[in-house]
Amino acid sequence: MNKPIRRLAIFSLALFGVLMLNISWIQTFQAESLQEHPYNSRQFIESLTQHRGSILVGSEEVAYSDPVGGDSDQFQRKYENGTLYAPVVGAFRAGSATGIERAENSFLDGSNQLLAVNNFRDMLTGEEPKGADVYLTVDPEVQQAAMDGLDPLGKNGAAVALDPSTGAVLASYSTPSFDPNSVASVTDTEQAGKKWEELEASEQKPLLNRAFNEVYPPGSTFKVVTASAALEDGATPESTMDAPESLDLGAPLTNAWDASCNNGAPDSLAHSIEISCNTSMANWAIELGGQKMHEQAGAYGFNQGPMEVPVDVTESSAPLETDPNILGRNGIGQANVEATPLQMAMVASGVANDGDVMKPYLVDSVQNSNLEEVKAAQPEVFSEAVSSGTAEDLTQMMIGVTEGDEASGPAGAIPGMQVAGKTGTAETGTGHTHNWFISFAPADDPQVAVAVVVENGDQSGGELGAPIAKGMMEAVIDE
Amino acid sequence: MTLGAVAITLFAMIEAGLTRNGEMPASLFVYAVLFGGLAMLAHVFIRYFAPWSDPLLLPLATLLNGLGIAMLWRLFEATGDTEQGSAQDQLILTAASMAVFAALVFFLKEPRTLQRYPYIMALAAVVLLLTPLLPIVGTSINGARQWVDLGFTSLQPSEFAKIALVVFLAGYMVTKRDVLALASRQVKIGPLKVLDLPRARDLAPMAAMWGFCIIVLVILMNDLGTALMLFGTFLAMIYVATHRSNWLVIGLTAFFGACALIYPFVSHFRVRMVTWLDAFRPDVFCTDEAMADPESFCQTAGNSQQLVQGLFAMAEGGMTGAGLGGGKPGFVPEVQNDFIFVAFGEELGLAGCMVMLMAMALLVERGMRIALASKELFIKMFASGISFLIAFQTFVVIGGVTRVIPMTGATIPFVAKGGSALLSSWVMLALLMRMSNNARKPAPQAIQDEGATQVISR
């Protein structure tokens, strides 16, 4: 009987072995992903008693912690201009956080490895530990201009501004926004929780950062990508393509004005961009083929998976397509092309920056409680989307959009300066249109690149989007 | 070694006290005297009444029991929240359990006498298992109907039923092992021998066991843990008795077949499976959004909060843990019961978990050694059965909370809060020690010296 007992003993040991292996796996390799799991609220609840660092825009503290006072050792998170910055900064509340509050939590609550030395010093000197301060790249004037442009429309929408030479996010606004103060109370958590649920349930989705996390058909703004692919393929701004009144792509594809683009004659690339001709650009996409279109979109940042800036950015997609009917529509930013406003701002900034797309980032620097810089942003090239020659051609074509004879987006023009832009009016399939405008200025020395989208604006991008973009560009240039 | 185990316990309490409240626990002295005294008493007692018993068993049990007390102290007393229980209760229960332990070691000189009453034991086991189904006294806690409310305290009779069952199986199988092992019918496909099937009438005990586990425990009482444990132990013992793997094949097939069959009909069984497989699905975890959706999973049944929070706690612990008192075990609902292990995981880290599992494994393997060393078949069956029961119970619980297998709800021997579990653990230990003592007792010296005389020892 000893043999089966020995086997049973080995089997018992094996059971313990399985447990040990599993626990080792959980506590070592899996630990980090579990700690950062969205359901894991430990780090946020306990940190109510920690003196959290501030989040700054310019020199203004837009989020900071104040002692609750009385018997409580907790801190209350407060937000200045909460509604204006909520899409970027997010909200820190008992149980969770969003936006920068979440993405940079390890710095704000002081748990990051880079702060270990400072924490140790604080411990020795008996100083109250305080998390690090996070300085954002956001420019308050530009952010304000985005809000002032979008909010009065009463529609949902978003606007992003980038510094094309670095990738720094100068503005990122999404409307409707919300006031983080209303959900952050630690003294009246019930009311705060109720308010949060209300926001979550709202059909307007105020918690959704449309600038980074909503994808829209980019409409005609995507023609910049199509034109890029054409120019890179050897075409010139004068190269022409058939631009009839209508193309038969499964269903007829027409121009916005229900006529041909060049009185029936083939239209030049530059003119097609200026007036936003659909039929010629669809023909360009079909002629270039799915592979080239797909690659060009990828070079601008499409199909590259989710991105962290450091808040999460949803992937924009331009799938590889072979069916000419769909390919043609993709070429004008319809069918299965989808982009975040940030993605379209990256397209504009790529053209502005001699063809190099810089990786967008929101955090300029992090300073510990002793005001020493622990981390500073290093601008990186995200991709080389087009050659500088192509970028120059595109810039000239886009200047035509704001000041050409038949300009489709004159409302984006700034007096005394050349502005490169592109309008977009994307059909949503529901009978409504989203209105886009992407641009950068000054065209000869770009300081800012912008993308604006207004959901279901039902006008043209030139009418609705361009004035907002103009305001944001002016905010940078007037400084 | 027992002293060492006590010292570790007290040190754990001091650490927890210092971390939580910045001072030495006020009641430390009481614990030191009581727990230390009890352990020492037990040690002296064993020295005197079972001097040849395995010297590792008592220190290991003391260590596990002590760590359990220290953790419960940290969970309740150090936080001032004694509604869910207290370490003092656990200490008193430990004292009572040790008394029973001593009594058993003292009075049950020959565990093999139990062999005489297999059917009484079987009856006792069944009755014990069924008592929670009785009206008035039987109560459900957290959905499982496995408690008996005695007014002043509630008992979990299944904890004792499993011991009775091991006694029965050991007794029964020793008598029937030849039949079970040898009488068989060959199943052939063409010339190929596929499987030896036992005769139908020999299958009866297995069928009874299987039916009982499935119907009563799973369907009526929602006690998956006990069902799994009992059936696992049964299979282990029949394997030891017969050394035939075909019994395992048949048993496992029947068990999993039944599980598959009742899966669509027994909702709590389904819930356990879903929370195990899809623990991180929003509607299984019950996020705020999922709660708002009237169609979602969490509207109809339980959720995976406990499991997932347990995993988060383990992750927080990492390699060395947050230190006793330094973690946040309050995040895990009902952490003082079967999830106490994740509290150790969080505060003692991987290192602490490994030590606890090693102690458990060592305890089990020493138990298996007793089975190997014994010369009587009944004792072999009995010792290996109890050892495997401890091992399997540990596996079922810890495997459940760490998502190796579905959560079933049982208790970690010696460690977890609760009187029945603690008492039954010490009873098992008493049985093992007595068997160990008898197995290792050297034959009487005087006779051995007579050279050629044949010694027939037990």
SS (H, E, C) chain B: CHHHHHHHHHHHHHHHHHHHHCCCCCCHHHHHHHHHHHHHHHHHHHHHHCCCCCCCHHHHHHHHHHHHHHHHHHHCHHHCCCCCCCHHHHHHHHHHHHHHHHHHHHHCCCHHHHHHCHHHHHHHHHHHHHHHHCCCCEEEECCEEEEEECCCCEECCHHHHHHHHHHHHHHHHHHHHHHHHHCEEEEEECCEEEEEEECHHHHHHHHHHHHHHHHHHHHHCCCHHHHHHHHHHHHHHHHHHHCCHHHHHHHHHHHHHHHHHHCCCCHHHHHHHHHHHCCCCHHHHCCHHHHHCCCCHHHCCCCCHHHHHHHHHHHHHCCCCCCCCCCCHHHCCCCCCCCHHHHHHHHHHHHHHHHHHHHHHHHHHHHHHHHHHCCCHHHHHHHHHHHHHHHHHHHHHHHHHCCCCCCCCCCCCCCCCCHHHHHHHHHHHHHHHHHHHHHHCCCCHHHHCCCCCCCCCC
Contact across the interface for B350 and A19, Cβ inside 8 Å = no
Predicted local confidence at residue A289, as pLDDT: 86
Closest residue to A5, CB basis, from B311, B368, B404: B368
SS3 state at A255: coil
Asked if A12 and B311 come within 8 Å (Cβ–Cβ), the reply is: no
Least CB-CB distance to B328: which of A4, A7, A42? A42
Within 8 A by CB and 6+ apart from A351, the residues are A224, A228, A385, A386, A391, A394, A395, A398, A420, A440
- What distance in Å separates residue B404's CA from the closest CA in chain A? 7
A466, with CB counted inside 10 A (0-12, 13-18, 19+), is buried
Considering A174, A182, A185, A220, which one is annotated as catalytic? A220
Contacting residues of A for B394, CB less than 8 Å apart: 15-16, 19
Q: Does B368 touch chain A (CB under 8 A)?
A: yes
Q: Do A16 and B360 touch (CB under 8 A)?
A: yes
Comparing CB atoms, the residue among A1, A18, A27 nearest residue B377 is A1
pLDDT score of B64: 93
Q: Name the fold adopted by A219-363+380-478.
A: Beta-lactamase (3.40.710)
Q: Could you tell me which of B234, B228, B89 has the C-alpha nearest to residue B166?
A: B234
Contact yes or no for A23 and B311 at CB 8 A = no
Give whichever of A40-49, A142-151, B416-425 has the largest mean pLDDT: A142-151
- What is the model's pLDDT at position A202? 86
Quote the CA–CA distance of A462 and A274 in Å, as a whole number. Answer: 12
Q: Using a CB–CB cutoff of 8 Å, tell me whether B339 touches chain A.
A: no
How far off is chain B from A29, nearest CA to CA, in Å? 9
Low-confidence ranges of chain B (pLDDT < 50): none
Delimit the domains of chain A by residue range.
219-363+380-478
Residues of A in contact with B349 (CB under 8 A): 27
User: What is the per-residue pLDDT for B448?
Assistant: 54
Helix or strand or coil: residue A426?
strand
0.80 exceeded by pTM? no
Q: What is the ipTM of this complex?
A: 0.90
Pick the range with the lowest mean pLDDT from A160-169, A439-448, B254-263, B329-338.
B329-338
Give the residue-averaged pLDDT of A195-213: 88
Is pLDDT above 80 for A25? yes
* Alpha carbon A288 to chain centroid, angstroms: 28
Cβ neighbours of A46 in B, within 8 Å: 328
Q: How far apart are CA B104 and CA B96, in angstroms?
A: 12
Which pLDDT belongs to residue A163?
93
> A249 with A328: CB under 8 angstroms?
yes
Residues 6+ apart with CB under 8 A from A366: A104, A107, A114, A132, A133, A134, A135, A373, A374, A375, A376
Establish if B132 touches chain A: CB-CB under 8 angstroms: no
Condensed to tens digits (0 to 9), the pLDDT of residues A296-319 reads 999 999 999 888 889 989 999 988
Q: A42 at the B interface (CB within 8 A)? A: yes
How far is it, in rounded angstroms, from Cα A104 to Cα A137?
A: 14
A8–B292 CB contact, under 8 Å = no
Asked if the C-beta of A9 comes within 8 angstroms of chain B's C-beta atoms, the answer is: yes
| Closest by Cβ to A8, choosing from B318, B353, B368 | B368
Of B240, B315, B357, the CB nearest to A19: B357
Q: What is the pLDDT at residue B458?
A: 55
pLDDT at B194: 63
- In the block, tokens 């230190």 appear at B323
Beta bridge partners of A97: A92
B331 touches chain A (CB under 8 A): yes
Decide if A26 touches B, using CB distance below 8 A.
yes
Return the pLDDT at B153. 64
Burial class (CB in 10 A: 0-12, 13-18, 19+), A203: exposed
A54 is catalytic: no
Whether the CA torsion A393, A394, A400, A406 is positive or negative: it is: positive
